[in-house]
Structure 1
Amino acid sequence: MNRFEGKTVLVTGGNSGIGLAAAKAYAAEGARVVITGRDATSLAQAQAELGAASVAIGNDAASLPAARQLAKELTAKGLTLDAVFINAGVAKFAAFADVDESLWDQSFDVNVKGAYFQIQALLPLLNQGASIVINGSINAHIGMPASSVYAASKAAVISLAKTLSAELLPRGIRVNVVSPGPIRTPLHSKLGMDEATAAQLQAQIPVGRFGTAEELASTILHLSASESAFIVGTEIIVDGGMSQL
């Protein structure tokens, strides 16, 4: 399939994990892919994996000036966008009693404020009928201990998708959310998740395993493609049944 032949797609946080898997999936179906990320080394490596047609731009997802600068750089390159995957985010966990203002601000600056104003900055570059997919999380639904701030930030972007859908629909722009459950990515090691903790978490997943970034990418592409034109302001949960039981 070449559902994205001749189209340009932006993936924020496309230098690793779910973002890189989505970027590769878009590229495999013909898209010109633009990825962003903060780490220059992983960004360059990801671009090399995606091929010469890809574009990699350093960007801090928590910075409003960076959001506007990204739009300026895309404009300077003569690029307009047919799909955007708002994926850049942080996952910080702490018991409620231990949460401080710094953890709150970092989580909301990246996951909510960054996403909100990045979409706003990109509006002039979105083609008629473009699709925006926001990366949510099942943590917005399941009430997992130590996730209060992270879960609240993801609940905010799920709500944002609904209101933006109503506001942008006159331009044919759809906004949807994909909410993953436990997905096997490098984020687990960054969070310090050992094998015993991973096994406990896996035991809570009805299908008996973690998901893969490639499985999630297939849903992201479905929401980005014209085949899902009747899906608007919706959240698709990809969690092996974890939030349903």
Structure 2
Amino acid sequence: MSEAGLVVMKRFEERTVVVTGGSTGLGLGTAERFVAEGATVYLVGRRQAELDVAVARLGPSAVAVRADVTVNDDLDRLYATLAERDGQVDVVVANAGAPSFGTIDSYTGEELDASYALNLRGVAFTVQKALPLMPEGGSIVLVSSIEGERGSPGLGAYAAMKAAQQSMARTWANELRERRIRVNAISPGVVYTPAFEDAGVSREQAESVIPLIPAGRLGLESEIAASIAFLASEDASFVNGANLVVDGGQTEIV
């Protein structure tokens, strides 16, 4: 099979992959990549209609599970379903998340709690509850952001959560070393996805950062998906506790 003129390897045949936030955007692009490489992929999202569209697009190798990662009962149901159908999970991509906007003088407790619940607590329990089903040699990828290493005004709370994800990847890689489960983070740059539209950011507004990107353009969902698949694969067998920045060079000059 080919994608954008490149041969797509079958590195995940007979493997089971969980992708949270998998019904649209980067999550769906990532799920599509894993399906192309032979995996059975569990798409996790909160909106059933979007999940149904995603599964119709990906075909029989995709399984939709409506779940909110901030609700532990939902995560328990996800992994119970997976255990019954497939018995184990080889790869977890903790992608569910969303930006929160506000400056230090405007935060509310409700906004900070909601950002924490989705971007940090939800990630932690997505991983924790997968571990009983993960064999030796499994792989976990946390989808962070370049904002975790920046100080962009208005994104402080979100950036803090994304920086914490990078820290958790390093710590969990150490904690899971005896089981040979690798844990890495990936920090995408600007990729225009439905999350931007949901936040009221137009494509033109997103493209205003292009002069700051040495690659001269925004990223593509397929480029982030390929990087995630690399981190999850045996091609990255000696990559552990890392944060892979995929941003066209933006953070190198800004």
| 1:123-170 C-alpha deviation (Å, 9 max, x unpaired) | 111121000000000001111110100000111111001110001111
Residue number among 104, 129, 132 corresponding to 2:137 in the alignment: 129
Distance (Å, rounded) in 2 between the aligned partners of 1:30 and 1:195: 33
In the alignment, the residues of structure 1 paired with residue 190 and residue 207 of structure 2 have an alpha-carbon distance, to the nearest angstrom, of 11
- Tell me the equivalent position of 2:188: 180
The equivalent residue for 1:88 is 96
Could you tell me whether the CA contact under 8 Å between 1:18 and 1:185 is conserved in 2? Answer: yes
For the pair 1:144 / 2:152, whether they are aligned, the reply is yes
1:76-225 matched pairs, under 5 angstroms: 76-225=84-233
Q: Report matched runs for 1:31-50 at 5 Å.
A: 31-50=39-58
Cα deviation, 1:158-205, whole Å, max 9, x if unaligned, reads 100111000111111000001011012111111111344223222222
Structure 2: segments with no counterpart, 5+ residues? 1-8
* SS of residue paired to 1:165: helix
RMSD: 1.1
TM-score, length of structure 1 as denominator length? 0.97
1:232 aligns with 2:237: no
Aligned to 2:24: 16
Aligned length: 245
Work out whether 1:3 is the aligned partner of 2:3. no
Residues of 2 paired with 1:126 and 1:153: CA distance? 25
- Tell which deviates more after alignment, 74-83 or 228-237: 74-83
Other structure's SS at 2:229 match: helix
Poorly superposed stretches of 4+, deviation over 3 Å:
none
TM-score where L is the length of structure 2: 0.93
Amino acid at match of 2:116: F
| Other structure's SS at 1:163 match | helix
Separation in 2 of the partners of 1:161 and 1:2? 26
> Unaligned 5+ residue runs, structure 1?
none
State the distance in 2 between where 1:5 and 1:137 align. 29
Q: State the one-letter code of the partner of 2:110.
A: S
Could you tell me how far apart the structure 2 residues matched to 1:160 and 1:66 are? 22
Secondary structure of 2:43's aligned partner: strand
